[in-house]
Structure 1
Amino acid sequence: MADEGSPQKQGRPSLTPSMRSSSFLQEHQQYRPPNKPENHYGIDTVVEDIQATQISAPRQISPFNGIPSPDNPPRIVESGVSHELSHPNCTPAPGTSSERLVATLFYKSTPRVSNDVHSPQKVPSPQAGQSPKLAGADSDISANLGPSSSLDTFPLEPPTSGPDPLDHIYGSYISPMCITSFLHLMSSFPLPPGSNDLTSAHRCLKLGAAPDHHPQVVELTLSPLPSPDYLSLDDLRKHELIYSFEREWNVDVALRADTLWRRYPRLVVFDMDSTLITQEVIDLLAATIKDPPDLAARVADITHRAMLGELEFEGAFRARVELLTGLSADIFTRLRAVLDVTNGVRPLLRALKRLGVKTAVLSGGFLPLTSWLAGSLGLDYAYANEVVIDEATGRLTGEVKGTIVGAVRKRELLIEIAAKEGIALEQVVAVGDGANDLLMMEAAGLGVAWNAKPLVQMEAGARLNGESISDLLYLLGFTDEEVHTLTA
């Protein structure tokens, strides 16, 4: 018999059912297939006390076959985050078609600091022998605010002050408030019958410089398009609300239907003067003639009025070439060194070539320079005007040989090149700046006005007013990362 004061023996430690659980795999697995009961447990549970183990009911998982449905879109709610797997870029259900609008917003590199527009001052009539002055020379209205350089044809009501600029308040870039404002604007247009909601998604294509890397180009996809019975896409591009938005936020808005051909161009056609190069060649030619001393100004004035659409191009071109009578033909060789290729042209053409896109230049200028430039830049086609040269003297006679490459001829050449290459017109892009480029822009799937005259900006399918013509790649939907890859 044990003494009262002696310590009692401790029992042998044992693993009771309350201290056990099912197997390691059951505790640590992250996925349990639904509707399949767990029919196997750890060996200790099976031997000692299977009745003590609680079997949890399987979680109810809503079936989802991976195809979002507008009627019942799959939704994930976890830790306060709600995410719907539907998206305006998703493929539509069988038997239906998607109608999406792509809006590309380009922030202009120069912020708008003032929106004040005063009444135009009367430009004095030119004296005999003098060239007329352009609007803006003696006026506080910029020449590009109206499709005219003559006060006689200026709009009866001069442009009024625009809306207050908002980019200096919310940031000199495409801010979230800018995107929100654009979506609010688009929601004001009626939707097609049967559509109740406007869905949207956006992605940044280009970031600004360090250190902030703010968005400079943003692409928005909206579905569906505004009701075509109320507003066509061409009319939407010219709508006063779009224009007002651009003025408020200092952006350019390019609107396109989201078709397959939008992302896969096969031919890009360029104007030459003020597009591939920053100058007008005929003005460079005129500047070399010192007698009479005002010849360069007279030629420049005709050029400007023709680009604005005030003068018929072919007649204006013949008149300017006539003024060049007697100029030595070797001037075309000498001018090669002074041609200023537009910023971004070389990387743009390098990218298009890597994509397998054909390129062409259709110029209302002179074939000797156009052909040389096309060879230098690696373009596939080059068309321009041929001037008559006196073989005895080697000087220009002031005449033009053959059909003048004006607005009609440019359109014809675009169609001919596309047919020769077997390319649909929907996959052609035309880029220009003057009124004589409008017909070829209209024939192409996309017409782009590059730092263009007001009339051209109003009529073109899209407009770019930046510092680099390579911005065209963002209009095609490429991101900055992809652009760097293509232009490397």
Structure 2
Amino acid sequence: MPLTKTFPAWNLEAGAYGGRRSSSYLREHQQYRPPSKPENHYGIDTVVEDLNATSITPPQQSYASFTQFNGVPSPENPPRIIDSGLNHELSHTNCAAPPGKKTSRLVATLFYKSNSPRVSNNAVPSPRKGSSPQPAASELASSDLPASMAPRSSLDTFPLEPPTSEPEPLDHLYGSYISPLCITSFLHLMSTFPVPAGSADPTSSHRCMDNPTHPRVVELVLSPAPSPDYLSLTDLRRHELIYRFELEWNVDVVLQPDTLWRRHPRLVVFDMDSTLITQEVIDLLAATISDPPDLAARVADITHRAMLGELEFDAAFRERVALLKGLPDTIFETLRPVLDVTPGVKPLIRALKRLGVKTAVLSGGFLPLTSWLAKELGIDYAHANEVIIENGRLTGEVKGLIVGKERKRDLLVEIAAKEGISHDQVVAVGDGANDLLMMDAAGLGVAWNAKPRVQMEADARLNGDTLLDLLYLFGLTREEVESLTS
């Protein structure tokens, strides 16, 4: 059977168990639990509003009006079984489409950003974490977008009027996880987008991907998806209402069409610096040079500006390499033990290999280190820049094409063609402006703790502690991830 409703909601208005929506989202998502089964532990699927003042029996119908389903479903005999506390629908919204029809479902994966909590201006203490002081500017995540700036395709398209006030964070009030009210708020938001003409009433279901009580990752399936004639998926991902929802609830929202390719990628391509590893290799190289003393700072500044997209990557890379002239070629071997692999990368590559997914690293760094790291991790393809070495020292020049944004895109296309893989089944992960063309060529481009411009333009944004979160975008649960990585 397809995905079952794991957010069972008694529709108090219509009298159908999760089949039709009422006029109240809060009431719609209240779960009825029989008195004979007291529940002392409240989790994500329990009541979100006090039931004392609410009548559980629908006004138009009651349990007595339902009979156990027998025979062929019809309006008089709905395919519903209610007997001895059992309530089961024999058909639901996630069934396959009728012959000649196509499904129109949107998958929204919500990630709670536990590594970068927002603090309320009202200083209301968290019921779980207690009060905490306002973080200093230096402590804020560098990947965060400026307040009140929704993702856009270009920095030039920002409105000229003064920005609106930043929304009040709600996670410290309703739970430092994906709470029921967070889900309800998101469903209410999505209901404001028009659906295709002639569509049935919108429905939704959800799964807690990691923890049923205090989930950090929740996957929602919305049917039908908002009308592409009104709003394309690209524009929907960058909609200001969704961005403000993310700010309010301290979450990242990833929207994907519910297709076969989402669940079965065949090639995952990674950037290396600040993606597979936490550092920038060229900055590490510059740090080994003591004369002139400001060289490391100069190289780091050029690197930062290039990653933000302020400088053309190819020219900036050649300028930085020229500053490294005279370094011994043994420096690459010296740096191997210094490389800090991003948390989650090793089990992620292991899981992808067990799934039969090809992997590649396309780096704007240096081939000796990129090839070595790819071999250590078990990555199938590795491409990077090759520096010229004479008499055992770097000449400050680069051999062949620079692996910049155009070259990364071309290499992704070449690898996919060699493996016979459709671009719809390619995922690209990066953090800098030189990764944007590569990410655009893939079926799904993922910005990993990325620079603001990349966060705005990417299909998906992940700002967590572990790159293993990527597997949740494929619809895998924590239990399945643990099976793949054990």
TM-score category, normalised to shorter length: 0.7 to 0.9
Matching of residues 70-219 of structure 1 within 5 Å:
74-78=79-83, 82-110=87-115, 112-114=117-119, 144-146=144-146, 161-207=165-211, 213-219=213-219
Counterpart pick for 1:474 among 472, 475, 478: 472
Q: Give the letter for the 2:171 counterpart.
A: D
Cα distance 1:371–1:90, how it changes in 2: closer, same or farther (>3 A)? Answer: same
In 1: Cα distance, 2:75 partner to 2:353 partner: 41
Tell me, in whole angstroms, the C-alpha distance in 2 between the residues paired with 1:199 and 1:331: 58
Query: Conserved in 2, the CA contact under 8 Å of 1:145 and 1:159?
Result: no
CA displacement, residues 17-44 of structure 1 (integer Å, 9 cap, x when unaligned) = xxxxxxxxxxxxxxxxxxxxxxxxxxxx
Please provide the CA RMSD for this pair.
2.6
User: C-alpha displacement at 1:320, in angstroms?
Assistant: 0.7
Question: Secondary structure in 1 aligned to 2:385?
Answer: strand
After superposition, the C-alpha distances for 1:152-178 in whole angstroms (9 at most, x for unaligned) are 999766765421111111111111111
Whether contact under 8 Å (2:143, 2:449) holds in the other structure is no
Report if aligned partners of 2:143, 2:452 keep a CA contact under 8 Å in 1. Answer: no
| 8 A Cα contact 1:115 1:163, kept in partner | no
| C-alpha distance in structure 1 between counterparts of 2:162 and 2:295, whole Å | 32
In 2 relative to 1, CA 423–72 (structure 1 residues): closer, same or farther, beyond 3 Å?
farther
SS at match of 1:206: coil
State how far apart, in whole Å, the 2-side matches of 1:182 and 1:207 are.
19
Structure index of larger Rg:
1
Structure-2 residue corresponding to 1:247 = 247
**What pairs with 1:172-321 in structure 2 (closer than 5 Å)?**
172-207=176-211, 213-321=213-321
Partners of 2:346 and 2:141 in 1: how far apart?
35
Correspondences of 1:332-481 after superposition (within 5 Å): 332-390=332-390, 392=391, 394-481=392-479
The CA deviation string for residues 35-84 of structure 1, in whole angstroms up to 9 with x for no partner, is xxxxxxxxxxxxxxxxxxxxxxxx9854247xxx9998622233576543
Task: Note closer, same or farther for the CA distance 1:222–1:291 as it changes in structure 2 (3 Å cut).
Answer: same
Q: 1:385 to 1:166 in 2, by over 3 A?
A: same
Whole-angstrom CA distance in 1 between matches of 2:260 and 2:454? 26
- One-letter identity of the residue aligned with 2:313: F
Q: C-alpha displacement at 1:114, in angstroms?
A: 2.7
Q: What is the CA–CA distance in structure 2 between the aligned matches of 1:395 and 1:376, rounded to whole Å?
A: 25
Note if contact 2:116-2:141 (Cα within 8 Å) is conserved in structure 1.
no
Instruction: Check whether the contact 1:70–1:86 (CA below 8 A) recurs between aligned residues.
Output: no
Q: Name the counterpart of 2:133.
A: none
**Aligned-residue identity in percent:** 73
Given the alignment, which residue of 66, 71, 75 partners 1:63? 71
Amino acid at match of 1:427: Q
Distance 1:140 1:418 in 2: 38
Cα distance between partner residues in 1 of 2:233 and 2:68: 47
SS of 1:361's equivalent in the other structure is strand
Offset at residue 463 of structure 1 (A):
1.1
SS in 2 for 1:215: coil
Shift of the 60–421 alpha-carbon distance from structure 1 to 2, 3 Å rule, reads: closer
Distance 2:393 2:315 in 1: 22
- Look up the SS of the partner of 1:277 in the other structure: coil
Corresponding residue SS for 1:340: coil
Is contact 2:142–2:451 with CA below 8 Å preserved after alignment?
no
**Aligned mates of 1:162, 1:386 — CA distance in 2:** 46
Go from structure 1 to structure 2 and tell me whether the alpha carbon gap of 1:190 and 1:469 turns closer, same or farther (over 3 Å shift): same
SS in 2 for 1:103: strand
Residue identity opposite 1:269 in structure 2: V
Do the aligned residues in 2 keep the contact of 1:75 with 1:83 (CA within 8 Å)?
yes
Displacement after TM superposition at 1:115 (Å): 6.0
Change (3 A) 1:72 1:204: farther
Letter of the 1:63 counterpart: G
Gapped runs of 5+ residues in structure 1? 1-58, 117-135
After superposition, the Cα gap between the structure-2 partners of 1:154 and 1:331, relative to the gap in structure 1 and judged at 3 Å, is: farther
1:378 shift after superposition: 0.6
Give SS of 2:209's match: strand
CA contact (8 A) 1:115 1:161 kept: no
| Counterpart for residue 59 of structure 2 | none
Structure 1 367/107 Cα, relative in aligned 2: closer, same or farther at 3 Å? Answer: same
Structure 1, residues 414-469: CA drift from partner, whole Å, max 9, x if none? 11111111111111111100111111111111111111111111111111110000
Distance 1:214 1:189 in 2: 28
Q: CA deviation at 1:113?
A: 3.3
Asked if 2 retains the 8 angstrom alpha-carbon contact of 1:425 and 1:443, the reply is: yes
Give, in whole Å, the separation in 1 of the partners of 2:230 and 2:199.
Answer: 14
Deviation at 1:200?
Answer: 0.5
Q: CA deviation at 1:330?
A: 0.9
Q: Which moved more, 1:423-432 or 1:69-78?
A: 69-78
Of 159-168 and 266-275, deviating more is 159-168
Q: CA deviation at 1:308?
A: 0.8
Q: How high is the TM-score relative to the length of structure 2?
A: 0.77
Give the conservation status (yes or no) of the 8 Å contact 2:109–2:217: yes
Gaps of 5+ in 2: 1-66, 122-136, 150-154
Q: TM-score, normalised by structure 1?
A: 0.77
1:328, CA displacement in angstroms?
Answer: 1.3
Superposed CA offset, 1:321-343 (max 9, x none) = 11111111110110001000000
SS of the residue corresponding to residue 387 of structure 1 reads strand
The 3-state SS of whatever aligns with 1:268 is: strand
- The change in CA–CA distance for 1:294 and 1:189 in structure 2 (over 3 A counts) is same
Shift in CA distance, 111/406, structure 1 to aligned 2, threshold 3 Å: closer
CA–CA distance in structure 2, aligned partners of residues 158 and 476 of structure 1? 39
Deviations 1:161-215 (A, max 9, x none): 421111111111111111111000000111111124111010111129xxxx511
After superposition, the Cα gap between the structure-2 partners of 1:484 and 1:443, relative to the gap in structure 1 and judged at 3 Å, is same
> For 1:364, what is the secondary structure of its paired residue?
strand
